[in-house]
Amino acid sequence: MRTEPITGPSGTPVPVARTLHWGRWLSAAVALVIAGWLVYLVVVNPRLDWGKVAEYLFNERILSGVWVTIEISVLATALGLVLGVLVAVMRLAHNPVLSALASGYIWFFRGTPVLVQLIFWYNLAFLFPELVLKIPFTMIGLKWDTNQVMTGFTSAMLGLGLNLAAYFAETVRAGIQAVDHGQTEAAYALGMTPAKRMRVIVLPQALRIIIPPTGNEFISMLKTTSLVYVVAGHDLMTNASQIYKANNRIMELLIVASLWYMLMTAVATFLQGRLERRFGSDAVRLVRGGGLAARILPKAAA
Amino acid sequence: MNPGVESAEPGGQSGAASGIEPVVRASGVRMSYGDVQVLNGVDFAVAPGEVSCLIGPSGSGKSTFLRCMNGLEPVLGGSLRVLGEEVGHTLRDGRYRPWTPKEFAAFRRNIGMVFQRFNLFAHHSALENVACGPVHVLGAPADRARSLAMEHLERVGLAAHAHKRPHQLSGGQQQRVAIARALAMNPELMLFDEPTSALDPELVDEVLEVMKGLAAEGMTMVVVTHEIAFAREVGDWLTFFADGVVVERGRPRELLANPAHERTRAFLSSVRNQKERQEP
Ligand SMILES: Nc1ncnc2c1ncn2[C@@H]1O[C@H](COP(=O)(O)OP(=O)(O)OP(=O)(O)O)[C@@H](O)[C@H]1O
Ligand SMILES: [Mg+2]
């Protein structure tokens, strides 16, 4: 807004009047009052024991739960990303069977609630009491007790990872399809095989489109892990709920858990910003390590 | 009919006589997209070292024919032999067995292609674009590929722009990088699909100069173009294409001066009129 006077037709400077945005002030004030009142109601609530919140914030089980939540999130996201690329490439394959299988996968895992999938994996032993990996027609192989393999942790990782893969496959597919088809033709004309063209030309460029949403996927995964408490995955939410079931301090422990989720989200958001700045415009190096640039042009890459 | 043109066959009657197989030999090539017949029996030949230019109205199938030559489009009828192989098939035990993607890739290594829209790899610098084929297709060591790529860029006059990305280059510069990229594979045959059609008029000459240099060095080239002057000056043969067939072919000067067919005459006069409208 201009504050410097304007020299009018008479030759003398005339000050500029300030516009008062009454509407803005009023709406801000109303919103602040309502928000402040709600916070106040919770904070001063005599039934809420803030001492307990402080007491449990760094409780050993809570901290171990935080750690498990991070582990599950990282592993499930990694599984989802790798599998998602695979499903996307299958989905785009000319082979109609592969393409249909990939579509079926996406439809199934997006079509059923993730909660149902978690419980399904956890209870896999009902269908397959033993998991057997063996070479057909021989006695050579490995065998596990399903209940020992499908702990809360592994079923959480599998359930969340397989589910993410279905969503992520669509992101990857969009990224791959966004790469100009002319470059595919040029790659073929140079003598590349379809696989090499995908790895060397298409995926590095598709990553620019794929990488920004992966940050969001991870952040949402951090919180989706709370569903794991239905299969007792020893994550933050599971441990918090076990504590409040014992001492009945439900609200306090929900606040403790929320504070940790908020902290993890804040850290992940910060890392996401760095990731996007680093790779958003130049995702090439991620796929090929040092990249061609680093190998043939050490100075330019440095 | 012009007897002079008919007697000297493009693709080298002389070549056949001396036992040299032509680089390209098409007979009755047919191709269609679904129900749309695009090539209706194309006969065409190029001998080693020849520059063969293709002209013809839009939609006549010139690009399709060029793309058949390196297997980017499938030949559905007739025979198309390029560099001694029936494109897309190998004769074995009395049958033609279709190629695998690997065999297509191996075949295309020896054929350079330059596209109308450049099609440079957008995530690579000019130098990386040129080094890409040797490194990823031929498995050349990186530093060797780098110095060779630099030589190719020098040859097209772009050494100073080696580190720029395609979007930082003009159209003419991009097309010259694309030519260098194809040359880096040491091809035996170069295919050009309207390499100057997407360029501003003042950038056309720098690309044509590079192509003239190549022709002078004896590169075998098939060039789809609307640059009549280039075809006359550089081409050994000129082929007029319409509705998916070769209408006529001959030495450029003769064909341009005395077209035998009415369609050729009409096409040439429309191209000349366009040129005059652009450059009064
Ligand atoms: N991918 C495609 N699918 C279906 N039809 C196609 C496809 N590509 C080309 N065609 C059709 O095939 C015919 C020949 O196309 P082509 O590109 O070979 O012509 P052209 O002679 O190169 O024309 P131009 O001078 O405009 O480049 C046209 O009628 C075109 O519409
Ligand atoms: Mg064309």
- Can you tell me the ipTM of this complex? 0.92
Tokens of residue B161, six digits = 């722009």
pLDDT digit string (tens) for B30-49? 999 999 999 999 999 999 99
Distance from B117 to chain A by nearest Cα, in Å? 8
Quick check: B127 and A193 CB within 8 A? no
First to last CA, chain B: 33
A195 CA to centre of ligand 2 in angstroms: 27
Q: Crossing angle for the helix pair A60-91 and A152-178, nearest 10 degrees?
A: 40
Scanning every residue of chain B, which has its alpha carbon at the shortest distance from the alpha carbon of A203?
B123
pLDDT digit string (tens) for B143-152? 999 999 999 9
Residues A65-75, mean pLDDT to the nearest whole number: 93
A14 vs B266 pLDDT, higher one: B266
B66 CA to centre of ligand 2 in angstroms: 9
Residue B83 at interface with chain A, using a CB cutoff of 8 Å? no
Q: Crossing angle for the helix pair A60-91 and A250-279, nearest 10 degrees?
A: 40
Residue B137 at interface with chain A, using a CB cutoff of 8 Å? yes
Residues 6+ apart with CB under 8 A from A291: A284, A285, A301
Q: Look at residue B137 in the predicted model and tell me its pLDDT.
A: 95
* Mean pLDDT rounded to a whole number for chain A: 85
Which residues in chain A have their CB less than 8 angstroms from residue B105's CB?
A: 188, 191-193, 196
Helices (H) and strands (E) in chain B, counts: 11, 12
pLDDT of A94 above 60:
yes
Nearest ligand to the C-alpha atom of residue B65: 1
Scanning every residue of chain A, which has its alpha carbon at the shortest distance from the alpha carbon of B125?
A293
How far apart CA B24 and CA B26 sit, in angstroms, is 6
pLDDT digit string (tens) for A147-180? 777 788 888 898 999 999 999 999 899 889 999 9
B194 CA to centre of ligand 1 in angstroms: 13
A140 vs A13 pLDDT, higher one: A13
Which of A108-122, A128-142, A155-169, B119-133 shows the lowest per-residue confidence on average (mean pLDDT)?
Answer: A128-142
Residues B90 and B103: beta-carbon distance below 8 Å: yes
- Kindly indicate the confidence band of residue A122, based on its pLDDT and cuts at 50, 70 and 90: confident
Q: Give the helix/strand (H/E) hosting B255.
A: helix B252-257
Scanning every residue of chain A, which has its alpha carbon at the shortest distance from the alpha carbon of B100?
A193
Distance from B119 to chain A by nearest Cα, in Å? 5
Q: Is the dihedral of CA A268, A270, A274, A277 positive or negative?
A: positive
Assess whether the C-beta atom of B36 lies below 6 angstroms from ligand 1: yes
Q: Look at residue A98 in the predicted model and tell me its pLDDT.
A: 94
Residues A68 and A236: beta-carbon distance below 8 Å: yes
Q: Count of residues for chain A?
A: 302
First to last CA, chain A: 45
Residues 6+ apart with CB under 8 A from A96: none
3-state secondary structure of A61: helix
How far apart CA A118 and CA A158 sit, in angstroms, is 8
* HSE-CB of B254 using CA atoms within 13 angstroms: 15
Residues A156 and A149: beta-carbon distance below 8 Å: no
Q: Look at residue A105 in the predicted model and tell me its pLDDT.
A: 95
Quick check: B123 and A185 CB within 8 A? no
- The pTM score is 0.77
